[in-house]
Amino acid sequence: MIAVINQKGGVGKTTTAINLAHALALLGQRVLALDLDPQGHLGIGLGVSEKDAAGMDEVLLNGSDVNQFVVSTRNDTGRGQLDVVPAGPGLANVEHLVDGGTQRGMRLKNALQNIVTDYDTVIFDCPPSAGLLGINALFAASDLVIPVSSDFLALQSLSSFMTTLQFVEKTCGRSMGKHIVMTRYHQQRRLAREVRESLQQHFPEQLTKTSIRENVALAESPSYGESIFEYQRVSHGADDYRQLATELTTERWH
């Protein structure tokens, strides 16, 4: 189970969740994408537009069976498939749960026990915060994909986030795979190169070889309910997410 997560907003988190999920399906995987962000942009970006339709809100608030909220979106991807569970209109209320102990943080992991065997990869699109939804994702995930945009504020936020991860790993009693992905990268910009060099210096094992180049089509495609592979399959964005999916599956995820 893979959490696409960063406490900082505006780093390309949902864009990465959408396009990585579809790239994996195009590689032949059975993929389930879960929208854990109350904004619901993952579902919208994959063409699941019923904003009032229940989904992860019912699963996490009421213990409903996640299977009943699975929306099949793309089964024409060769040998793979891509299914989605939308956020649901009440997902933000998860942050106000009051049941005690660590159980609040285990709701997602417990809810997915009966469905994970149906898929090769489950991807969570997480909210840009350190709240209960993000904690649930961290407790459930085996690996983290951490998008970082090409600016120093994102770099500073990453250092804080990595400290949070150390605390979570200590609480869980296990470590997670961490894969830092540079987004909105522009090789010709000095700042972008400097940020990548800094990431390479401080997180050499975690930084992926693949960077996601700045690409207008990546910003445009969600408004059509399409991934980059549908909206503009011949583009830097499509090439980069295809390459990222290959790198993660062949070199990093075990």
Q: Which helix (DSSP H) or strand (DSSP E) does residue 85 occupy? A: strand 80-85
Q: What is the pLDDT of residue 99?
A: 61
Nearest Cα to Cα of residue 150 among 158, 138, 142: 158
Domains of the chain listed by start with CATH number: 2-249 (3.40.50.300)
Which amino acid is residue 46, in one-letter code?
A: L
pTM: 0.93
Residue (of 109, 171, 179, 178) closest to 140 by Cα position:
109
Q: How far apart are CA 56 and CA 76, in angstroms?
A: 25
Per-residue DSSP letter, 35? E
**Contacts for 56 with CB less than 8 Å, ≥ 6 apart:** 34, 35, 36, 66, 69, 85, 86, 87, 88, 91
Q: pLDDT in tens for each of the 254 residues of the chain?
A: 999 999 888 899 999 999 999 999 999 999 999 999 999 999 999 988 766 689 999 999 999 999 999 998 876 555 679 999 999 999 999 988 766 555 788 899 999 998 888 899 999 999 988 789 999 999 999 999 999 998 888 888 898 899 889 988 998 889 999 999 999 999 888 999 999 999 999 999 999 999 999 999 999 999 999 999 999 999 999 999 999 999 999 987 76
Instruction: Give pLDDT, residue 49.
Output: 72
Q: Are 154 and 196 in contact (CB under 8 A)?
A: no
pLDDT for the residue 145: 98
List, for residues 172-215, the tens digit of each pLDDT value.
Answer: 889 999 999 999 999 888 999 999 999 999 999 999 999 999 99
Sheet strand arrangement including 71-77? 71-77, 80-85, 30-35, 121-125, 2-4, 143-149, 177-183
| 234 phi and psi angles, rounded to 5 deg | -100, 95
pLDDT at 130: 74
Cα of 246 vs its chain's centroid, Å: 16
* Kind of pairing between the strands at 143-149 and 177-183: parallel
